[in-house]
Amino acid sequence: MLTFINSYLLPLLSLAALPILIHLFSRRKLKKQPFADLRFLEEIQRKRMRRIKLRQWVLLIIRTLAVFFIAAAFTRPAIKGVHFGGVGAHERTAVAILIDNSYSTSATLGSADVFAHEKSVAKKILSTLREGDAAAVATFSEKVRWLTPKPSRFFANLSAIIDTITISDEGTNISKAVEDAVKILGDYRAPNYEIYLLTDNCAIGWRKGVIHHPDDMRVYVFPFSPDRTDNRAITKVEFPAQFLEIGTPFELSVRLTNYGKKPAENLLCWLVVDGEKKSQTTVTLPPGASIDVKLSAQVEKGGLHWGYAAISEDNPLVDNRR
């Protein structure tokens, strides 16, 4: 399909009529003057006039086409959706690559976490882009963070920046990420637009709004499902409303949540203070349920102390300790 990048300049094509108008208005009607019988000279004159008129028509066509093609060049025509082989057949494309860095992407997939697989695929997408293309890369969780303020043609630099991004401690908002991608691509003129969505495909990420995108922006989703999806997490730790005293036991309240679809049986939870395990307990969690457990400890000396609550390891690792 033929499209024009600068469609607002299409009225300039009407300038192609100028040479024709100039030709019509500049024509002068010759006044006939009778002479003696000069048929021989008249025949020569007719032949010369035919050549002159032919030359004039050729020049008129050339001038008209020249103006037309100059005006058409300003509109920047492009053929969309049709691919021809050979040199110069590539259509410029503006690409937005969205990398999910929510905390759930720390889940294991094969020999690495989901986030590492996402970064690898993002760099492969960049490597397929060609001269004239442009790319914008962003990480997204609850917020969208662009690596560059606008699409860039320095793909090697983008690939190097991708190596430095890390997993966040936030949830996922896919609709916000796509909305931002549509906006940043909409401000960049190109015949083609593509959005690549790299995500662990958690259901919660799709529930935070309806995803809208223009028809001329193609969206490709790359889902990365972790090896295990029966996630259990420590979602809250409450400290006692008391001063810690040396040798006096205290209790922490630890909230455990089962985000998986299967029961969590004999889930082990323990408390570490100053590097020493102080107490532990086991619980059974139904799917989608939360429960508060009590873990006790005491300190044997004054000063600053540190510690954490932890549960048996599962995917993702980031929420197994707090």
Q: For the chain, what are the domain ranges?
A: 2-79, 93-223, 232-319
DSSP annotation of 13 reads: G
The partner residues of 113 in beta bridges, in order of sequence, read 108
pLDDT of residue 86: 43
pLDDT of residue 153: 93
Supply the DSSP string of 123-180, one letter for each residue: HHHHHH--TT-EEEEEEESSSEEESSSS-BS-HHHHHHHHTT----SS---HHHHHHH
CA 102-192-119 angle, 5° bins: 25
CA distance linking residue 283 with residue 292, whole number of Å: 10
Q: Please tell me if the domain spanning 93-223 has the same topology as the one spanning 232-319.
A: no
Other CB atoms within 10 Å distance of the CB of residue 123: 17
CA distance linking residue 289 with residue 230, whole number of Å: 12
CA distance linking residue 237 with residue 234, whole number of Å: 8
CA distance linking residue 311 with residue 161, whole number of Å: 34
pTM of the entire structure?
Answer: 0.57
Instruction: Let me know: does 92 contact 188? Beta carbons within 8 Å.
Output: no
Other CB atoms within 10 Å distance of the CB of residue 172: 27
CA distance to 15, 83, 189, 190, 191, per residue, from 3 (Å): 20, 14, 12, 11, 8
DSSP reduced 3-state for 266 = strand
* C-alpha 284 chain-centroid distance: 41
**Closest by CA position to 2, among listed 105, 56, 77:** 77
pLDDT of residue 136: 95
Other CB atoms within 10 Å distance of the CB of residue 24: 8
CATH class of 232-319: mainly beta
274 in the Ramachandran plot: left (φ > 0), alpha (ψ -120 to 50) or beta? left
CATH class of 93-223: alpha beta
pLDDT tens, the chain, 322 aa long: 566 556 666 777 777 777 777 767 766 655 666 555 555 556 666 677 777 778 878 887 888 888 778 877 776 666 554 444 444 456 789 999 999 998 888 887 888 888 999 999 999 999 999 988 999 999 999 899 999 999 999 999 999 999 999 998 888 888 899 999 999 999 898 889 999 999 987 766 677 666 777 888 899 999 887 766 667 888 888 887 777 788 888 888 999 888 777 888 888 898 998 888 888 988 888 888 888 999 988 888 888 888 888 888 776 667 788 7
The partner residues of 280 in beta bridges, in order of sequence, read 270
